[in-house]
Amino acid sequence: MVLNKIGNINKIFETKKSNSVNKANTTGSSSDSIQLSTEGLKAAEEAKTLQMVRETPDVRREKVEAIKKQMQDGTYDRHLDDKVLGLVAGKLLNGIFSE
């Protein structure tokens, strides 16, 4: 499987200027905290998804071997395969044109 571009992944690697932070009152007890914007959370999720896609093998050998064996035995159901392929293709097209 080859994916050329997923969302705005390139934005993750771009550096942005940081805003200056005012020092808090040092006499009281303070704790550090961070807040992530929705854009940052979305970018992190996209990066995680991209990493999963990169780590997933393109070919599942066990599936290929099982189908080869079925074809040799004469038990491979080509009509079922066409039906599943049609369902997947329909979902892909709906996903592409709904965006």
- In this predicted model, what pLDDT tens digit does every residue of 64-75 receive, in sequence order? 899 899 889 988
- pTM, to two decimals: 0.32
Which amino acid does the sequence have at 92? L
Looking at residue 51, its pLDDT comes to 93
Q: Which residue has the tokens 């040799």?
A: 72
User: pLDDT tens, 25-70?
Assistant: 555 567 888 888 999 899 999 999 999 988 888 888 898 899 899 8
Q: Give the mean model confidence (pLDDT) for residues 69-88.
A: 85
Q: What mean pLDDT is predicted for residues 74-81?
A: 82
* Residue keyed to tokens 């990493």: 51
Tell me the C-alpha distance between 54 and 12, whole Å.
17
Domain map of the chain by residue range?
Answer: 41-99
The dihedral of CA 75, 76, 77, 79: what is its sign?
Answer: negative
pLDDT higher for 87 or 3?
A: 87
The angle subtended at Cα 59 by Cα 90 and Cα 72, nearest 5°, is 90
pLDDT at 65: 92
DSSP line for 45-83:
HHHHHHHHHHHS-SS-HHHHHHHHHHHHHT---HHHHHH
pLDDT of 98 above 60: yes
Is the confidence at residue 21, as pLDDT, over 90?
no
